[in-house]
């Protein structure tokens, strides 16, 4: 069941935070947001090194990916909206602590069970931080700076995801300890992150009693707002399905099909998707961001082209598909963040943003698990083709569907 909210998006129920401290807090939260998202993709290039050490295959790798997304979804359903009641800073600090615990587990991991636990904690951290930090950024910036908020929050999200794979690949390829050094450095970086949150202004002025429960997804109560939000949510679900399919596929494709064993190159190829998404968010014309067709068109073209690259065993074609898909992901994500920020009740901002990110990470889980299951019974190329067709169909359905409620 879905809860409705019926705000007037033009009313700011939470007093805005003003002054230099608010401006500094805005950029501090954005920096920590980037760091937390970076931690979410650090393990991706390292699975090729862990697999022979711990004796697991492609299905287990897929399961580890899915556990991360499941942790994120659980956090969004249980914890992320708590910041509307107890404040942004406590939840942001708790998410950084969870990221630290996850990193510590990666440092001591010698078996699959520890990797699963580490990824689950990492997912919890990501889920709490995405919704809470995005809400905090909107409040620190003020209602009149909605475009800046959507650009910075999406840049922190996608930029962090892209940097994580690149950084991990470089450390693994050229560092002294391929599977540990990067985590020691990351763990050390979380200390100043906690200090940054301590000096950031709290934006929730009215506190309520802490009550943890499984929340029902919240959507806008007004008909037109509900339609607009659900369309944005479906679009980001399709976009994250593409990123989930891509992130699951690239390491094994490069290693097994193209015989690319340089871990830095693998990390760079995965990171390219998110970095292109970041560039698209910042540099794309506003009509591309607000338009109905640009994001789906880039997503469909990207999936089609990198599927051709997969079958043809062509790295240039695969890279071209990466560029197209990354652009579509960036456009869909930024547009959706803007819609959610604009429609959210200021008193329950994190609640609606949690629902938005729930759409996103649900999109990640489904193709990741499906690829792992199909790969056990049929050829990987055929499995990927089936999923690519499903992702394209979902993308087109979200675009072609024009409910009459949109005109209410």
The more confident residue out of 75 and 211 is 75
pLDDT at 143: 61
Q: For residue 51, how many other CB atoms are within 10 A of its CB?
A: 18
pLDDT at 9: 38
Per residue in 147-156, pLDDT (tens digit) is: 788 889 888 9
Q: Could you tell me what percent of the chain has a pLDDT over 70?
A: 90
Find the farthest-apart pair of alpha carbons in the chain and give their distance in angstroms, rounded: 61
Asked if pLDDT for residue 212 goes beyond 70, the answer is: no
Beta strands in 152-243 (DSSP E): 218-220
Q: What is the DSSP secondary structure assignment for residue 220, as one 8-state letter?
A: E
> What's the burial of 199, exposed, middle or buried (CB within 10 Å: 0-12/13-18/19+)?
exposed
- Whether residue 98 contacts residue 125, with contact meaning beta carbons closer than 8 Å, is answered with yes
Is 213 part of any domain?
A: no
- Whether residue 156 contacts residue 247, with contact meaning beta carbons closer than 8 Å, is answered with no
Is 12 part of any domain?
A: no
Element (H, E) at 398: helix 380-400
Asked if pLDDT for residue 362 goes beyond 70, the answer is: yes
Exposure b/e, 82-91, CB count within 10 A at least 16 = b: bbbbbbbbbb
pLDDT at 12: 38
The whole-number average pLDDT for the span 63-83 is 86
Quote the distance between the C-alpha of residue 350 and its chain's center: 16
Rounded to whole angstroms, the Cα distance separating 212 from 76 reads 12
pLDDT band per the 50, 70, 90 thresholds, residue 17: low
Is 4 part of any domain?
A: no
pLDDT at 404: 42
Q: Which domain range does residue 77 map to?
A: 17-204+220-407
pLDDT at 33: 97
pLDDT at 104: 98
Asked if pLDDT for residue 195 goes beyond 60, the answer is: yes
Rounded to whole angstroms, the Cα distance separating 403 from 71 reads 33
pLDDT band per the 50, 70, 90 thresholds, residue 118: very high
Strand, coil or helix: 142: coil
pLDDT band per the 50, 70, 90 thresholds, residue 54: very high
Strand, coil or helix: 95: helix
Taking alpha carbons only, the member of 337, 349, 268 closest to residue 5 is 349
pLDDT at 7: 43
Structural domain count of the chain: 1
Is 5 part of any domain?
A: no
Per residue in 333-350, pLDDT (tens digit) is: 888 888 888 888 877 777
Asked if pLDDT for residue 3 goes beyond 60, the answer is: no
- For 271, phi and psi rounded to 5 degrees? -65, -25
Is 192 part of any domain?
A: yes
Taking alpha carbons only, the member of 93, 207, 96, 89 closest to residue 139 is 89
Whole-angstrom CA distances from 196 to 93, 186, 247, 375 are 10, 16, 31, 44
> What's the burial of 258, exposed, middle or buried (CB within 10 Å: 0-12/13-18/19+)?
middle
Is 189 part of any domain?
A: yes
- Lowest average pLDDT, out of 147-151, 155-159, 177-181, goes to 147-151
Per residue in 296-338, pLDDT (tens digit) is: 899 999 999 988 988 888 888 988 998 999 999 999 988 888 8
The whole-number average pLDDT for the span 250-255 is 78
The whole-number average pLDDT for the span 357-366 is 85
Supply the CATH number for residue 354's domain. 1.20.1250.20
- For 207, phi and psi rounded to 5 degrees? -95, 150
Taking alpha carbons only, the member of 284, 312, 298, 38 closest to residue 157 is 38
> What's the burial of 408, exposed, middle or buried (CB within 10 Å: 0-12/13-18/19+)?
exposed
The whole-number average pLDDT for the span 76-100 is 89
Is 215 part of any domain?
A: no
Q: Which of 36-40, 230-234, 349-353, 395-399 has the highest mean pLDDT?
A: 36-40
Helix segments in 199-343, DSSP class H: 223-252, 263-283, 286-290, 294-312, 315-343
Asked if pLDDT for residue 146 goes beyond 70, the answer is: no
pLDDT at 6: 46
Taking alpha carbons only, the member of 324, 282, 317 closest to residue 301 is 324
Write down how long the chain is. Answer: 408
Asked if pLDDT for residue 137 goes beyond 80, the answer is: yes
Q: What is the DSSP secondary structure assignment for residue 379, as one 8-state letter?
A: -
pTM of the entire structure?
0.83
């Amino acid at each position: 069941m879905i809860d409705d909210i019926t705000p007037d998006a033009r009313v700011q129920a939470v007093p805005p935070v003003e002054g230099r401290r608010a401006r500094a807090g805005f950029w501090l939260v954005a920096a920590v947001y980037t760091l937390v998202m970076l931690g979410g993709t650090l393990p991706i290039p390292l699975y090729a090194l862990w697999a022979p050490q711990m004796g697991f295959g492609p299905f287990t790798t897929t399961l580890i990916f899915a556990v991360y997304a499941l942790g994120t979804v659980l956090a969004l359903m249980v914890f992320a909206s708590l910041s509307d009641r107890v404040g942004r800073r406590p939840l942001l600090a708790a998410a950084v602590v969870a990221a630290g615990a996850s990193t510590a587990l990666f440092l001591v991991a010698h078996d699959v069970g520890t990797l699963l636990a580490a990824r689950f904690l990492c997912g919890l951290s990501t889920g709490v931080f995405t919704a809470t930090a995005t809400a905090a950024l909107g409040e620190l910036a003020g209602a009149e700076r909605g475009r800046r908020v959507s650009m910075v929050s999406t840049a922190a999200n996608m930029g962090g995801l892209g940097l994580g794979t690149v950084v991990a690949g470089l450390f693994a390829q050229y560092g002294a300890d391929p599977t540990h050094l990067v985590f020691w450095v990351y763990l050390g970086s979380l200390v100043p992150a906690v200090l940054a949150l301590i000096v950031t202004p709290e934006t929730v002025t009215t506190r309520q009693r802490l009550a943890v429960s499984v929340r029902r997804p919240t959507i806008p109560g007004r008909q037109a707002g509900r339609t607009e939000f659900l369309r944005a949510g479906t679009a980001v679900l399709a976009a994250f399905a593409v990123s989930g399919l891509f992130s699951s596929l690239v390491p094994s494709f490069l290693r097994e099909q193209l015989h690319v064993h340089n871990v830095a190159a693998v990390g760079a190829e995965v990171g390219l998707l998110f970095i292109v998404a970041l560039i698209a968010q910042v540099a794309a014309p506003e009509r591309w961001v607000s338009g109905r067709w640009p994001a789906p068109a880039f997503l469909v073209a990207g999936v089609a082209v990198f599927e051709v690259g997969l079958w043809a065993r062509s790295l240039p074609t695969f890279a071209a598909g990466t560029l197209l898909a990354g652009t579509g992901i960036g456009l869909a994500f930024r547009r959706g963040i803007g819609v959610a920020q604009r429609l959210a009740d200021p008193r329950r901002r994190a609640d609606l943003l949690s629902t938005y990110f729930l759409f996103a990470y649900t999109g990640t889980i489904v193709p990741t698990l499906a690829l792992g299951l199909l790969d056990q019974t049929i050829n990987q190329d055929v499995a990927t083709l089936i999923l690519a067709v499903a992702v394209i169909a979902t993308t087109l359905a979200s675009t072609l569907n024009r409910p009459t409620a949109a005109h209410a």
